[in-house]
Amino acid sequence: MGRRVIALAAESGPLEIVGAIDAKNHPETGTDAGLLAGIAALGVPLGDSWPAAADVAIDFSLPEGADRTLQNCAERGIALVMGTTGLAPEQQAAIQAAAQRIPIIYGTNMSVGMNVLFSLVGKVAAMLGPDYDIEIVEQHHRFKKDAPSGTALTLAERICAATERDFPDCLTYGRSGKDAQRTTGDIGMHAVRAGDITGVHSVIYGTQGETISLNHTAHSRDMFVRGALQAAQWLIGKDSGLYSMADVLGLA
């Protein structure tokens, strides 16, 4: 993701890359970020220290790196687009606190299409009513660490908010055994990890006689990056606060 952020940001025109940051002792520290991204050299080496000044940072890393990003942005007054998933409750609380000092967009999925789906799933569940069972299936590559995906949890949150279900208590994670019949009102949550799947999310609404499915398939990571770059440009100059992709896209 970091390499694609660099490559597509360099192509975007309005954005200038002033820093590329990774973990300390990264084996490619010191290598030009552009060359790492497969484009021309940018004169910006990969490092572990933050630039003196920047307008906005984009973070697609791991939960253990998110705290450092948040701290540096808050201390330096840098706006932040945070796309890292799998954050602990205390990390999410830290984002809320930092948003009192800087503008932040936090999203479990930066794709434009997925954020449209976020806006739809609760409305569909409410329109269909309680007779329709709801199952969420997410598929990702074999290396993804957190399960279920942050995107799948956001889909469930939106459905729960629209149908007055208790989140996350109504979630059933997979099923097994001889007595695994679904409970009325629960939402099934299923995670697939296989090969190099970029990301597939399906929300299934089923009742006696029919099934409705809403699906989103990511063909490459570029769609996440393009959404993040759109968010970064939107966020520059905004007042402190916690924003979402729905704000960026006018869906809020």
Could you give the residue numbers annotated as active site?
Answer: 140, 144
Token couple for 215: 């699906």
> What separation, in Å, do the N-terminal and C-terminal C-alpha atoms of the chain show?
26
How far is Cα 134 from Cα 233, in angstroms, rounded to an integer?
A: 36
Calpha distance 80→23 (Å, rounded): 18
Angstrom distance (rounded) from CA 142 to CA 144: 6
Determine whether 14 is exposed, middle or buried from the number of CB atoms within 10 Å of its CB (0-12, 13-18, 19+).
exposed
CA distance 55 to 11: 18
Kindly give the interhelix angle for 112-128 and 150-163, rounded to the nearest 10 degrees.
30
